[in-house]
């Protein structure tokens, strides 16, 4: 079951350069950042009520985030929904013919288990399924 929006992922050139906007201007607080080597990305989460904003910075020019920024500029890159049984939802989507980027969950920031649905199936939205236990 999909429960709610977990977070919105925003591709940025530099997380450090976002501190002034999110903390000083908007009054939010950036949680500690994490580098996820296999995805060549550095992430930082900003809690906003029950949801969060995830800032994503490329750690390598061949990172998906670097390519995204090159093509579209900085901005919203994905929307993540919180699910309670990611394996079950992935199996269900597969049966329904939904194209998946990840057929098995992978590691996500903060120890979440995540999987992406292909934007071709969601009319341009990169959708992340996210389970936090």
Percent helix, percent strand, percent coil in the chain, to nearest 5: 30, 40, 30
CB of 110: closest distance to Zn ion in angstroms? 10
State phi, psi for 37 to the nearest 5 degrees. -55, -50
CB of 16: closest distance to Zn ion in angstroms? 19
Which positions from 51 through 110 interact with Zn ion, judged by CB under 5 A? 54, 80
CA distance linking residue 98 with residue 90, whole number of Å: 9
Tell me if 41 contacts Zn ion by CB under 5 A.
no
Looking at beta carbons only, is 19 or 51 nearer to Zn ion? 51
Identify the burial level of 92 via C-beta atoms within 10 angstroms of its C-beta, where 0-12 means exposed, 13-18 middle and 19 or more buried. exposed
Total residues at the site for Zn ion (CB under 5 A)?
4
Looking at beta carbons only, is 54 or 57 nearer to Zn ion? 54
Decide: 129 and 115 in contact? Cβ < 8 Å: yes
Looking at beta carbons only, is 54 or 93 nearer to Zn ion? 54
Residue ranges in contact with Zn ion by CB under 5 A: 9, 54, 80, 128
């Amino acid at each position: 079951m999909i429960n709610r929006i977990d977070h919105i992922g925003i591709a940025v050139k530099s997380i450090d350069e976002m501190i002034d906007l999110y903390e000083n201007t908007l009054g939010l607080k950036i949680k500690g950042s994490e580098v996820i080597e296999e995805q060549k990305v550095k992430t930082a989460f900003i809690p906003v009520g029950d949801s969060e904003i995830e800032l994503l910075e490329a750690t390598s020019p061949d990172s998906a985030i670097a390519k995204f920024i090159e093509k579209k500029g900085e901005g919203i890159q994905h929307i993540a929904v919180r699910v309670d049984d990611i394996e079950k939802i992935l199996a269900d989507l597969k049966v329904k013919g939904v194209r998946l980027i990840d057929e098995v969950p992978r590691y996500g920031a903060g120890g979440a288990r995540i999987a992406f649905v292909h934007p071709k199936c969601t009319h341009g939205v990169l959708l992340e399924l996210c389970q936090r236990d």
